Amino acid sequence: MNTSIPYQDISVVYYALAAVAMPLIAFLINVCLPGKTNKVSGWMSTLGIFTSAVLSALVFAKIWGQQPLHIQQLWFTIGASKLYAGVLLNNLSVILLLLVNLIALPVHIYSTAYMSHDAGYKRYFTYLSFFCFSMLALVVVDSMYLFYAFWELVGFSSYLLIGFWFTKDKAVYANKKAFIINRIGDIGLLVAIIILFTQFHTADIVQLFGDNGLVAQSFIKNGIWIAPASQLPAVYQYIACAGIMLAVAAKSAQFPLHTWLPDAMEGPTSVSALIHAATMVAAGVFLLGRVYPIFNTAELNALAVIGCFTAFMAATIALTQNDLKRILAYSTISQLGFMIMAMGIGAYASSLFHLVTHAFFKCLLFLVAGIVIHQMQHIKEENNLDIDPQNILYMGGLRKKLPFTFITAIVASLALIGLPLTSGYLSKDGILIQAFEWSDGKSCYYRMIPVGAIIASILTAFYIGRLIVKVFFGEFRLQKINPHIHIHCNDGGWQFKLPLLFLTICCLFPLFSWNPLVYEHAWIFSAFSGPGFLERINIYHTIIPAGANLVNILVIYLAYSIYVKRNTFTFDQTGFFFRLSYNEWYIDRFYNSAIVKPILSLSNASSWVDKNIIDGFINLLKNIVLSISKITAWIDKYIIDGFLHLLTAIVQLIGNFARNFQSGKIQYYLFSMLAVILALFILKTLI
């Protein structure tokens, strides 16, 4: 079944399929390669992703801004329903296809150097290729069931990579947690798919969510959700949406399911850059983009609230963390919150735009973190120190030692904050402006969304300022504590520098718009929003960027002055807010005591029931049967047998009695004869 426009070039689909298949081929080759640290594996994976990147660029050039292409083929028939597998290439899928490749390629190159001394070098690239395959497949598939399949496979490859150092207990806990929390989201998605399939009899994304698709035609009336072919109670529409939100929350680390992401930082840093910052965690936003028509206004508002709250909460937590990667993880959560919020307020285009820009600058920040951690690790090993190489309290002044890294880090941070001339400015300010526009004319509670977003964005400036200052400015605190240590630091070889340079360029405005100040001119934005969005209808478009950036610059200066000059003041480290932030709002502890423990006790209880009640009942039955059999045995022995024994005893008695008469002594015989005759005589006389 071919639902595409007939005049289109079908070969694009083959390019797309090849782009998806290349990492899979690399994965399979790597599986077969001998040796644990076979360096060929790294180049295989890199070659695979490079080819894939080229192909996806071709696909992108042909599809972007054109008619979507949709090709499918029968996968299998179950009963009367046919399930198709196919490829759907529209603006959304091709931009992500390209994005994933553009992020993955530098990360692969970086990894060949970053992991070069690891004992599991081949395993690393095998997993990495597998991840790329699942992620690329996820963005192009056209069926909800397939989407679910790859959705879970990316979670699985993330599980493998988080627990890459599987002898480390913390890593193993972290990957278990990540998988289980993602499983919660998966269930939500599965339930949503089942509901959609029941309601619309198809799992095809185009048929369901296309223009004027089945979802768009369905409506809720009198508590019934009516679709063209069937109907369900309205509550199932809400459950389906809730399921999707759950899935999004799990994958994109939104409150309340965000807790796996900070722990996931136990994986190699290059993995964090690719999976837990740029690509996989953005899959939730991508899902929202795919199923956008299903949400009604109330559900969109819920999304906005979740996103805004997460953005704010994660930003507050990032303020006080000391682990370099954890700060970045919370920053990711916060930025994802912005994207989800943007979806909720209807800023669909800005949300996807931010997804793209965020992928570049966050990936860059993680790669920078990787270099810093690597250097700290070297220092630690060289001098036999007992320190945590990720703790920013030991760092400082690294700008002189790692100048190239320092510059890229600055660019990435400015993009994260959203200062002009960077890509982050274009995407983030778009979200903020549209949030204000959205809340206009609504009640004052709706105002909290844009205000919360602004606060979160200011906090962003502070925590990233703190991070940069603590790592790169001031003096090297580790050296201050141990003045005798040897320090050999450098930016690393071209495998480090080239990816960093590439990503730095991608963090700047020219890639996205010729106009560094006006987000509406960005080509990604205008492609997703369609015409008519170019009017700058009100004053927000000027005030918000100007105001926000002014505040941001002040805040950066504040962070600089606090942490470098130390002349203003220090924070109170015992206050309620500090502890709340430092302990990550106590959410993990709450989950442990409120959810994990009860479930474990429930499982123990059910095991107890099994052992004592069900088996107890069986044993009781057994005992009853045994006692009955004992009673019957007793009856058998004493009553039935007893009767027989009695009979034999009587017979024996009579026999013994009679035997007495035949003892063989002649006088007894004479006596008995006489007695008998006498008795006869007496009887005769008596009768």
Q: Examine residue 9 and tell whether it contacts other proteins (CB under 8 A).
A: no
Q: CB of 79: closest distance to other proteins in angstroms?
A: 2
Q: Which of 60, 121, 124, 148 binds other proteins (CB under 8 A)?
A: 148
Q: Which of 607, 648, 660, 672 binds other proteins (CB under 8 A)?
A: 607
Burial class (CB in 10 A: 0-12, 13-18, 19+), 384: exposed
Q: Examine residue 79 and tell whether it contacts other proteins (CB under 8 A).
A: yes
Name residues contacting other proteins, limited to 618-647 (CB under 8 A). 618, 622
- Residue 376 is encoded by which pair of tokens? 């700290």
Return the number of the residue (232 or 518) whose C-beta is nearest other proteins. 232
Q: Which stretch binds other proteins (CB under 8 A): 38-46, 61-69, 604-612, 663-671?
A: 604-612
Q: CB of 189: closest distance to other proteins in angstroms?
A: 10
Return the number of the residue (98 or 246) whose C-beta is nearest other proteins. 246
Pairing of the two strands 224-226 and 231-233: antiparallel
Question: Cis ω on the peptide bond leading into residue 256 (within 30° of 0)?
Answer: yes
What span, in angstroms and rounded, lies between the C-alpha atoms of 229 and 208?
12
- Residue 361 is encoded by which pair of tokens? 């600058």
Q: Which stretch binds other proteins (CB under 8 A): 65-73, 252-260, 381-389, 602-610?
A: 602-610
Q: State the binding string over 220-249 for other proteins (x if CB under 8 A, else -).
A: ------------x---x--x----------
Q: CB of 483: closest distance to other proteins in angstroms?
A: 35
Cβ contacts of 69 within 8 Å, gap of 6 or more: 4, 5, 8, 10, 12, 13, 63, 87, 88, 89, 90
Return the number of the residue (543 or 618) whose C-beta is nearest other proteins. 618
Q: Which of 15, 125, 150, 512 binds other proteins (CB under 8 A)?
A: 150
Return the number of the residue (146 or 273) whose C-beta is nearest other proteins. 146
Q: Examine residue 553 and tell whether it contacts other proteins (CB under 8 A).
A: no
Angle formed by the axes of helices 235-251 and 283-291, to 10°? 150
Q: Examine residue 163 and tell whether it contacts other proteins (CB under 8 A).
A: yes
- Cβ atoms within 10 Å of 598's Cβ, excluding its own: 11
* Contact criterion met (CB below 8 Å) for 375 and 397: no
Q: How far is CA 366 from its chain centroid?
A: 19
What span, in angstroms and rounded, lies between the C-alpha atoms of 579 and 633?
74
Q: Examine residue 521 and tell whether it contacts other proteins (CB under 8 A).
A: no
Q: Examine residue 34 and tell whether it contacts other proteins (CB under 8 A).
A: no
Q: Examine residue 396 and tell whether it contacts other proteins (CB under 8 A).
A: no
* Contact criterion met (CB below 8 Å) for 478 and 379: yes
Q: Which of 1, 180, 546, 680 binds other proteins (CB under 8 A)?
A: 180
Residue 8 pairs in a beta bridge with none
Residue 225 pairs in a beta bridge with 220, 232
Return the number of the residue (40 or 149) whose C-beta is nearest other proteins. 149
Q: Examine residue 602 and tell whether it contacts other proteins (CB under 8 A).
A: yes
Cβ contacts of 259 within 8 Å, gap of 6 or more: 177, 181, 584, 587, 588, 591
Q: Examine residue 184 and tell whether it contacts other proteins (CB under 8 A).
A: yes
Q: How far is CA 489 from its chain centroid?
A: 35
Residues that bind other proteins (CB under 8 A): 75-81, 145, 148-150, 152-153, 156, 163, 166-167, 169, 172-173, 176, 179-180, 183-184, 186-187, 190-191, 193-195, 197-198, 232, 236, 239, 599-600, 602-604, 606-607, 610, 614-615, 618, 622
